Amino acid sequence: MIPNVVKGGDMRGLLRYLAGPGRENEHTNPHVIGGDDFLLAWHGSEELNADAAGEISDFLEQPRQHWGTEIRSQVTAVDPETDERVVVGYRDQHVWHCSLSLPVDDRTVSDDEWRAIAADFMDEMGFTEASGKAPARWVAIHHGTSKRGNDHIHIAASMVREDGTRWDGRYGDYRRAQEACRSIERKYGLAAVAGREAGLGARGAKPAELAQAERAGMPHTAPVELAHRIRSAAVASQSEDEWIRRVRKAGVVLKPYYAKGTTDVVTGYKAALKPEDYNERLVFYGGGRLGKDLSLPRVREHFAEPTLESSAAAAAEWTAAAKGQAPALRGGPDDMTLTPQAPVNAARWLADFNDQLKSIPLGDDVAWSDAARDVSGALSAWARFDTENRDELNAAAEQVARSAQVRRAGVPHRRPSSSTLGAAVVLLQTRTDGKGKVAGTLMARQVFGAVKALHDRQVSMKHLAEAEVLRTRALERLQRIPLTGYGDETTARVAVAADLKAAGERATAQKVADAQRGTRPEPGDPAKPPMPNQLGPQRARQRTGRDGRDQGHGR
C-alpha cells in the first residue's frame, strides 16, 4: 500500500474534486467509506455530488472556524541573485490529504475492509481518540480505480482538533504514513511494498507528475525518465566533465548550485527534461530528489579523485551548462568512435563485475547499493539503445535502482570507474548503428547475472518481498526480451533460462540451509566495493550530511 500525503488550505475544493467526475471522468460512484460517525450516517449510503461535498467540507471545517485556529506554512522562492531560498509569504495549510493506493496486482478490497483500513490508518497517524487527545475530523472517500488500474481511497482531514488545538503530527507524517501502511499490509494480508522491509526508499510519483506523463504520452514520469538518463550517463563516464556532457546530450537541461560566494565550486545540481515545445516551462528536480544515488556527491563516487585539470574541466562544463552554451570540450571520450572489439570487451568486464559481487559480504548494504546503482545504469543505457524493448528494460532498471536507495553513514570510498562502464559506453555510443554492432547475447547474459546476484542477496538477507519484486519485475522482464538481431538468439536464450533456473535452485537451497541453521547470515567484515583499484576516502572539502547526501536543495 502506497500513501501519498499532500497538505493545503482549500478543504471545499478538495472535497469537490473527490466527489466530482475527475479530470478525465475517471471517477465512478464516489461515496463515503469512513470517517466521523455523523458523516457515515448522513452520507454513507449515497453517491456524492457537489452539494454533499459542500456539506462534508463545512462539517470538517467547523472546529477550525469556531476556535479561529490558524495553521500556515512559509512560501519560499529562489533569489536569482544569491540562488538561495528566501521566504516571500505565508499560506493556509490546515487541510491534510492522503491517498492510500494498492498495486494493480494486489487482491480485491471490499468497502468494509477499506473502512477498517482507513480507521486503523488514522489511529496510527494520531487523528483519532486513540492518540489520547481530542480527535480531528476526517472523511475517507472511494471513487473507483485510477486510470492505471490502482484501487485506492482518499482521506481528507482537518489539522485542527475538536478543542481547537493543532494536530501534532504535521512534522514527520510522511515517514509515519509509511510505517502505518507497513502495519496495515501485515494485518490485512496486502502485498508488501518492496523496499520497506529492506530499509530502502524511493521517491513516489506525485499526481501532477502522473498527469503530465499521461498528457505527454510518456511511459514514465519526468523524474523517472531523468533518473534513467542521468544514471546511465554516470555509469558510462570516467570523469565529471564527461558525465555533464553525456547528460546534456541525452536531452537533459542541467543547472549547477554553487557554493556561497563562488562561481566555480559546484555543490549540487538540478535537472529538467528538454521540452519539445520552446514555450513549454522547464520543471527542475534536484539530483537527490531523483534518487539518493543521484545527488552530486554520490555521482562523483563514480570518478577518480579530482585533480587540478579534472576540476577545471568540470568547472568549464558546469559554466557552459549554467549559461546554456555548447559543451566546453569537443572530441572527448563521449564523441569517440568505438572499435569492433569494444562490445566483446564490455561483456568481459561485466563478467569480472559479476565475479567481484561474489566477494561482498551479504550485510554490506553500501557495497550492494553501489552495485545496484551500476547495474541499473547499465540497464538504462541498454534501454536507450534498444528502443523496441525500452519499456521492459527501463522497468527492470527502475526496480534495480530501488536497491540503491539506502541512506549512507559516513563517507563512502571513491573508485575510478565502474565495471559496468564498458557496457554503458557501448550501448550509448553505438545506439544509432543498430544491434548488429553489439555482442548483445554476451552482454545480456552478464547483465542478467548481475541482477540475479542482487536478487539472491535479498533472499539470503530474508528481504523476501524485495527479492520477489526483483524476480518478477526485473529478472522475468529481462528473460522476456527478444534478442533478435543481436546474434545467436537461441544460444543466448538457453543460457539466460539456465541462469534463471540456477538462481531459483540456489535461493531454495539457501532457504533450506537458513531454516536448518535457524540464524540470519552474518554481515561479515567490511567488503571492498565490487570494482578493483579502490582509492582512498573522499576529500573532506565536499559538504555531505550524516547520510552521505549533499546539503540543501536535494542536490
pLDDT, greater one: 32 or 340: 32
pLDDT at 483: 73
Q: What is the mean pLDDT of the chain?
A: 78
Look up residue 154 and give its amino acid.
H
- Mean pLDDT throughout 274-281? 73
pLDDT one-digit tens code per residue, 383-401: 877 888 888 888 888 888 8
- 486-527 per-position pLDDT tens digit: 754 444 444 445 554 555 555 555 554 544 444 333 333 333
Please say if the pLDDT value at position 407 is more than 90: no
> Across residues 184-195, what is the average pLDDT?
79
Q: How many angstroms separate the CA atoms of 262 and 473, rounded?
A: 45
Alpha helices (H) along 430-488: 440-460, 464-470, 476-480
Given a cut of 50, whether residue 260 has pLDDT beyond it is: yes
- The CATH number assigned to the domain with range 2-188 reads 3.30.930
pLDDT in tens, 60-93: 999 999 999 999 988 888 777 666 778 888 899 9
Mean pLDDT of all residues in 355-366:
85
Residue of 370 and 71 predicted with greater confidence: 71
Distance CA 329, CA 317 (A): 8
Q: What is the pLDDT of residue 526?
A: 33
pLDDT tens-digit profile of 305-338? 899 999 999 999 999 999 999 999 987 777 766 6
* 304 or 114: which leads in pLDDT: 114
Residue 405 phi, psi (nearest 5):
-90, 70
490 vs 52, residue with greater confidence: 52
B/e letters for 86-95, b = 16+ CB within 10 Å, e = fewer, are eeeeeeebbb
pLDDT score of 337: 66
Q: Where are the domains of the chain?
A: 2-188, 207-517
Q: Does residue 432 have a pLDDT over 80?
A: no
Band of pLDDT at residue 536, cut at 50, 70 and 90? very low
Helix, strand, or coil here: 330? coil
In this prediction, residue 341 carries a pLDDT of 65
Distance CA(544)–CA(540), nearest Å, equals 9
Comparing 109-118, 164-173, 213-222, 351-360, the range with the smallest average pLDDT is 213-222
Which carries the bigger pLDDT value, residue 139 or residue 352?
Answer: 139
Q: What is the mean pLDDT of residues 118-136?
A: 94
Q: What is the pTM of this model?
A: 0.55
pLDDT confidence of residue 427 = 67
Please check whether residue 545 is in contact with residue 410, taking contact to mean a CB–CB distance below 8 angstroms.
Answer: no
Q: What is the pLDDT of residue 235?
A: 85
Choose between 199 and 278: higher pLDDT: 278
Which segment of 274-278, 319-323, 479-483, 490-494 scores lowest on mean pLDDT?
Answer: 490-494
pLDDT at residue 533 greater than cutoff 70: no
Q: Which of 350, 317, 353, 315 is nearest to 333 (CA)?
A: 317
Three-state DSSP class for residue 439:
coil
| Cell numbers linked to 32 | 463515503
Sheet hosting strand 252-258, strand order edge to edge: 252-258, 266-273, 285-286
Tell me the pLDDT band of 419, cut-offs 50, 70 and 90.
Answer: low
The reported pLDDT for the residue numbered 107 is 87
The stretch 24-34 carries a mean pLDDT of: 85
Helix residue ranges per DSSP H, 133-206:
173-188
